[in-house]
A and B are shown apart, each in its own frame.
Chain A
Amino acid sequence: METYQADGWTALGDPTRRAIFERLADQPLAVGELANGLPVSRPAVSQHLKVLKDARLVIDRRAGNRRIYRLDPDGLGALRADLERFWSKALAAYKAVVEQREEESS
């Protein structure tokens, strides 16, 4: 099993990033606001946001001297992450079914 690229599923495999992602689903937030509610440092939050951004799960915009993060409005990153998860599970289960039947018949 392999996927061809770094993906949203991998990005959301980290619990802190998942927490950030879920908080941004409630409302757009700045880095500092995110860091206040999480047991990690602000630079760590910035790093996690970069990963989420690269996976197309979140976007940011500048508001004065702050940078506000929100979920990618077209949702494509989240949808891709969801479907990657779905198909990876499906194909793994498929392999088990195919090879089990093969053993039974041989």
Chain B
Amino acid sequence: MSTQAAATSVRTQIVVEAPIERAFSVFTEDFGSFKPAEHNMLAVEIAETVFEPRVGGQLYDRGVDGSECRWARVLAYEPPDLVVISWDISPQWQIETDLSKTSEVEVRFIAETPERTRVELEHRNLDRHGEGWEPERDAVGGEGGWPLYLQRFAERIAG
């Protein structure tokens, strides 16, 4: 698995004991119920995560104070088989406004039996985030650079 494609993507999958329709609807409608809590770029606690169920829709977190963080766009929405979202988050866990530097997440739902569904997830084109990292690399000791990233990373490992 040393190919370039493998190096620039992350793949994982899981099998759930549920029909494909339910697997799809929970993934999209209840995204906020299983999204890791550390995934929060707001200054306050997240009140809800909204997944707008249509191509062109957005995923956003709404904070308890009403602030919002829009961190993904819905690129494909084909219930109950497929959903693709963009990942508008930089490696430093900040919103990426340059859309050419965003990656994408494809999620496929495959019915193994009427009551069992395999969910395959591929987060791909990660190299797109790499363009323009030079300034951040130069400022490696700067606030918001590697130290912050590593701290969050270490917390995540510890958690």
Interface residues of A (CB under 8 A from B): 1-7, 9, 12-13, 18, 22, 25-26, 56, 71, 73-76, 78-99, 101-102
Q: List 10 A-B contacts (CB under 8 A).
A: A3-B11, A12-B153, A26-B141, A75-B129, A75-B133, A80-B7, A91-B119, A93-B33, A94-B14, A96-B34
For the complex formed, measure the closest distance between the CB of A15 and the CB atoms of chain B, giving whole angstroms. Answer: 9
Contact present for A91 and B147 (CB under 8 Å) = no
Given contacts A26-B141, A98-B22, contact A79 B129 (CB under 8 A): yes
Q: Digit string of B125-154 for contact with A (CB within 8 Å is 1, else 0)? A: 011011001000100110000110110011
A80 CB contacts on chain B under 8 angstroms: 7, 10, 126
Count of A-B residue pairs with CB < 8 Å: 118
Cα–Cα distance between A88 and B157 once the two chains are bound (Å): 12
B12 is an interface residue with CB less than 8 A from chain A: yes
Partner of B12, one of A3, A12, A25, A78: A3
For the complex formed, measure the closest distance between the CB of B122 and the CB atoms of chain A, giving whole angstroms. Answer: 9
B121 is an interface residue with CB less than 8 A from chain A: yes
Partner of A82, one of B27, B33, B153: B153
